[in-house]
Structures are given as structure tokens and as C-alpha cells.
Amino acid sequence: MSMLGQTVGFPAPEGGAGGLAHALARRFESLGGDIVLSAEATRIEVTGRRATAVRANGERYAARRAVVADVVAPHLYGGLVADDDLPPRTVKSMKSFDLDPGTVKVDWALDGTIPWQSAPPHAPGTFHVADSVEQMTEALGQISARLIPAAPFMLAGQMTTTDPTRSPAGTESLWAYTHVPQQSVADGGGDGIKGTWDRDDCERFADRMQARIERLAPGFGSKIISRRVLGPQELERADANLIGGAINGGTSQLHQELIFRPVPGMGRAETPIRGLFLGSASAHPGGGVHGAPGMNAARAAIAHARVRRVTRGALR
């Protein structure tokens, strides 16, 4: 991502992130693909240790060549694929699968640009909020200790700066997110935020996030037209793969990267089920804006289909 940023910048879909999904859908349909909406996949059928079909909303979709599952690993192993269809080693290993921290995201509509106390030399599309490396380390350490961060480290995006179509001229569309523990034991900030992430928790923590920006941009609060707060529960309701607000498909700590992702010995798109490939951030190399897990899964599925076709031809 850093290298791409230096060579081609950070492109953003005009009009909103949904533009990227629509572009992918148009490309897929132009090649003869069908997209079925509002049909929750509930089961991947396995026959003879091979994925043969997907069940969704009472319908059966046969898989002639492959199934690519863009779901978080806990929803695949023991979820879409029953434990009885998996090797005992996989079932056992998944019990140690670690999620990444939860997330709280805030969206602001502003009636003007951000009133930076010290304006950056160039208008950034994204910015980070941290007082120092030490303070950022402290915030991440609090999350590891299951404390709600007192001074959350934040990533933020000025979307109108990136794409002027996001809001009327002279205004700004801004978002920021930060991480919180999956299970909290106390509030590191001493304000009594419980970590249940009900509406009260979310709004109070959003106030803490907003205060961080206010210190860097005095008067920020007075420019807010509206604010939306999405806590871990709202994120998971919007996308079942975001378990507890985890947006990375599982922790990216060393014990769950490379050949250990999602579990030891399965650091590839292939799964223990023939014809089934994991294409989500739970697969190597993990979450990001690169799409690499899906690309790896697609390439693996095509390669295995070719080998299977050649092998069948040879047997004939």
C-alpha cells in the first residue's frame, strides 16, 4: 500500500466506496456471471471431501468447479462447513483462532473544512491522530490489556478532500475509526464506559474521539451538522463477518500470519475441503485494501480446475 501510494497515489471511487462494488459487479456480469442478492448462504455441501454446492435461502447452487468463500474463518469452519466434514485437526485449531480488536467508527458531516490549528502543507485525504509514538504504543497496549483506550489512536479520512462529489462545495465529509478490546475489563480513561457498546457507550466514546480532533482543530465541534456512530454491534449487524467489530478477519499478530493464517499449516487459499477456497481477510496475507486474499483464492481455484480437467482427460 505504501509503495502504491508513492507511485500512483491512493485512488478513491467517485461518489463513495459503493462505486467500487458496483464496478466489480458490472465487470462480473459482463463476463456472464450472475449475482444473487438477499440470499444468505447457510451451508456448503460436502460430498467425498469435495465442496459440491452452496445452500442459500432454501435454494441449492451446485458448484461445478469451485466455491470461493469470502467469509471470516469462524463462519466457514464449523459454520458453513459442518465440523463433521472437517478434519479433527482443523476443528481443534479453530478453537484457538484469535479475532482482532473491535472497532468504533464515527462519521461527521461538517459545514466547513476542518479548522486545523496548524494546517498541513497539503490537504491530506487521510490523517492519523496520535500525540507521539509513545502515546500510540500506550493506546495499543491498553487494548491488549483489555482496557478501553484513554486517548484512542485514530485513522481518519477527509472524503470531500479526496473526492469533491462527496458533499457540497465548502463542506466536508469526514470519518474516523479506532480500535477497542473484544472484551473489556475497565475504562482506561476513567469515564465509566462499560465496554458493552450499547448506544450510551458508543456516544460517550465518540465524544472522546471527537475531543482528540478538537485539540488539533479548535472549533471542530461547532462545524458539525450531524454525527453517526457505529460501534462493534452495529458493524457486525451490517456485516456478519465483522465479529465484534473486528475488521481484519482475525488478528495479524505473528502467531496468526503467513503459514499460521488462519490456523497453522493452512497459510494458503486452499482448505481441507477440495474445491473450497478461502478468499477473505482470514486468509494470507490478511486484511487491507489490496484484495490479495480474494486474488489468491481465484487463482488457486482456476489452477486446481485446470489440473482436474487435465487429469480427467488423461484418465480417459
The vertex-161 CA angle with 156 and 162, nearest 5°, equals: 80
Measured between alpha carbons, how far is 178 from 129 in angstroms, rounded to an integer? 10
In three-state secondary structure terms, 302 is: helix
Element spanning 175, H or E: strand 172-180
Q: Which residues pair with 224 in a beta bridge?
A: 110
The pLDDT, as a whole number, for residue 299 is 96
| One CATH from 1.10.1760, 1.20.1070, 3.40.50, 3.50.50 for 36-97+250-315 | 3.50.50
Measured CA to CA in angstroms, residue 202 lies from 104, 106, 205, 234, 236 at distances of 7, 9, 5, 10, 14
Q: How far apart are the first and last CA of the chain?
A: 47
In tens digits, the chain (316 residues) has pLDDT values of: 777 778 888 788 899 889 999 999 999 999 999 999 989 999 999 999 999 999 999 999 999 999 999 999 999 999 999 999 999 999 999 999 999 999 999 999 999 999 999 988 888 888 999 999 999 999 999 999 999 999 999 999 999 998 999 999 999 999 999 999 999 999 999 999 999 999 999 999 999 999 999 999 999 999 999 999 999 999 999 999 999 999 999 999 999 999 999 999 888 999 999 999 999 999 999 988 788 999 999 999 999 988 766 566 555 5
Q: Which three cell numbers stand for residue 42?
A: 447457510
The pLDDT, as a whole number, for residue 2 is 76
